[in-house]
């Protein structure tokens, strides 16, 4: 299917409407996996106390449609204010409980690099506010430009600023002890993003997450910038539904990460596919040797998934603090943090680990009757984390 630049917002709005229309049904948790919640130490109201109508509020892309040749940031602003004492949305403790993450004991010394475009001048203070609210401690955080300098940052952009805050906060949510490097490209064109990718490796990161996409193009950035031995690359799958793939998520050397929704089901947390999640069959990319399905003749995406809806985020650059944010751009940094917890990133290649039979039992099966084969679907790949053993 052909996409024009001016149609992106229409596609996103359509799939967000589909996601919202299915949200009420998710509360029944039919066919979803679930886990009992634990007590949350945060001084906030849990997300399940939010009114259903507010949680289903239509979202808007944080960034306008990308110009030809540019990458699109994927953060979706759902609500601009909380309804509780301070925040609304899923909190780190809910994420850690749902995915059984050893977030308080693992991740020290693991560097997770985030590549985004433009500058958020408030990112350090926003991250500090987020971590303080949820008792995550002081971040080991550094910000660089695409040349590796801690000065001469790009011009600010409040849309990409939301993306930047979402990314650093989601890594913190899953792996508070990880070291976080933010590399800000001068802009959203391929040459700048490639420079930032290369700099992330130069700075010593073995995990690099990307919350942007070139819809409909696998040539906007070079695949070689996502193919460094000993480095695990991740990328968000996009928010326009299946069949809208692009770089870098389509590359065989990148773990393509889809989106899910978490809901409260009685005394448990349930998880289901998110209708807006990208993913599909990319015939222009050679099928990697570790994919053995006969459904897709090329690169099958996605590889795995994580929550992409109703997430609490703090942003003071162009916004007034707490709001809820969604999109697969939340899932990619969240799972980058899980790779940090596992500590095996130097042994990984893209999404290969999730296709190994011995690892699939450590992922929640989320395709819910829509499997293409076994427990695999394009939208959620092989599923979301059930602990860290699949990583």
Domain containing residue 60: CATH number: 3.40.50.200
β 298-301/280-286 pair status: antiparallel
Report if residue 33 sits inside a domain: no
Number of domains in the chain: 1
Report if residue 39 sits inside a domain: no
Report if residue 390 sits inside a domain: no
Tallying the residues shown for the chain, one arrives at 391
What residues contact 186, with CB distance under 8 A and at least 6 apart? 117, 118, 145, 146, 154, 192, 195
Question: Which spans in 36-157 are helix H?
Answer: 52-55, 92-98, 123-133
Question: Which spans in the chain are helix H?
Answer: 8-26, 52-55, 92-98, 123-133, 158-174, 190-202, 328-342, 352-355, 357-360
Report if residue 32 sits inside a domain: no
The pair of structure tokens assigned to 125 is 């203070």
pLDDT tens, the chain, 391 aa long: 334 444 455 444 444 544 444 443 443 344 456 554 443 333 332 222 223 333 445 789 999 999 999 999 999 999 865 434 467 899 999 999 999 999 999 999 999 999 999 999 999 999 999 999 999 999 999 999 999 999 999 999 999 999 999 999 999 999 999 999 999 999 999 999 999 999 999 999 999 999 999 999 999 999 999 999 999 999 999 999 988 899 999 999 999 999 999 998 887 899 999 999 999 999 999 999 999 999 999 999 999 999 999 999 999 998 999 999 999 999 999 999 999 999 999 999 999 999 999 999 999 999 877 789 999 999 999 999 999 999 9
pLDDT at 1: 39
CA dist 354 to 92, 204, 300, 305, 380, Å? 23, 24, 12, 10, 11
Domain that holds residue 89: 5-26+46-385
Report if residue 31 sits inside a domain: no
Report if residue 38 sits inside a domain: no
Report if residue 99 sits inside a domain: yes
Report if residue 391 sits inside a domain: no
142 CB neighbour count, 10 Å cutoff: 15
pTM: 0.87
The answer to whether the beta carbons of residues 120 and 164 sit under 8 Å apart is: yes
pLDDT at 32: 56
């Amino acid at each position: 299917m052909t996409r024009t630049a001016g149609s992106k917002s229409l596609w996103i709005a359509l799939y967000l409407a589909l996601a919202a229309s299915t949200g009420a049904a998710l509360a029944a948790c039919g066919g979803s996996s679930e886990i009992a919640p634990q007590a949350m130490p945060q001084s906030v109201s849990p997300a399940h106390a939010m009114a259903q109508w507010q949680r289903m509020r239509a979202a808007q892309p944080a960034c306008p449609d990308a110009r030809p040749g540019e990458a699109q940031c994927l953060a979706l602003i759902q609500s601009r204010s909380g309804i509780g004492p301070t925040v609304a949305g899923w909190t780190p403790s809910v994420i850690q409980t749902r995915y059984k993450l050893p977030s308080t004991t693992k991740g020290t010394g693991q560097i997770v690099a985030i590549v985004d475009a433009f500058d958020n001048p408030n990112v350090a203070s926003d991250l500090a506010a987020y971590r303080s609210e949820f008792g995550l401690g002081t971040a080991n955080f550094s910000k660089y430009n695409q040349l590796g300098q801690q000065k001469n940052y790009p011009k600010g952009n409040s849309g990409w600023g939301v993306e930047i805050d979402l990314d650093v906060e989601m890594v913190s949510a899953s792996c508070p002890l990880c070291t976080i490097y933010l590399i800000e490209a001068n802009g959203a064109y391929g040459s700048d993003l490639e420079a930032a990718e290369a700099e992330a490796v130069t700075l010593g990161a073995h995990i690099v997450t990307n919350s942007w996409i070139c819809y409909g193009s696998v040539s906007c950035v070079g695949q070689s910038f996502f193919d460094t031995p000993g480095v695990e690359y991740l990328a968000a799958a996009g928010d326009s539904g299946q069949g809208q793939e692009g770089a870098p998520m389509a590359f065989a050397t990148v773990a393509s990460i889809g989106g899910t929704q978490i809901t409260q089901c009685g005394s448990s947390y349930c998880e289901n596919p998110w209708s807006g999640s990208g993913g599909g069959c990319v015939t222009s990319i050679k099928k990697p040797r570790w994919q053995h399905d006969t459904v897709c003749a090329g690169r099958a995406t996605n590889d795995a998934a994580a929550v992409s809806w109703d997430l609490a985020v703090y942003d003071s650059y162009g916004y007034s603090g707490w709001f809820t944010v969604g999109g697969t751009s939340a899932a990619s940094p969240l799972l980058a943090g899980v790779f940090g917890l596992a500590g095996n990133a130097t042994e990984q290649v893209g999404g290969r680990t999730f296709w190994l039979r011995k690892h699939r039992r450590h992922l929640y099966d989320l395709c819910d009757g829509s499997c293409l084969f076994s427990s695999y679907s394009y939208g959620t790949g092989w599923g979301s984390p059930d602990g860290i053993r699949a990583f």
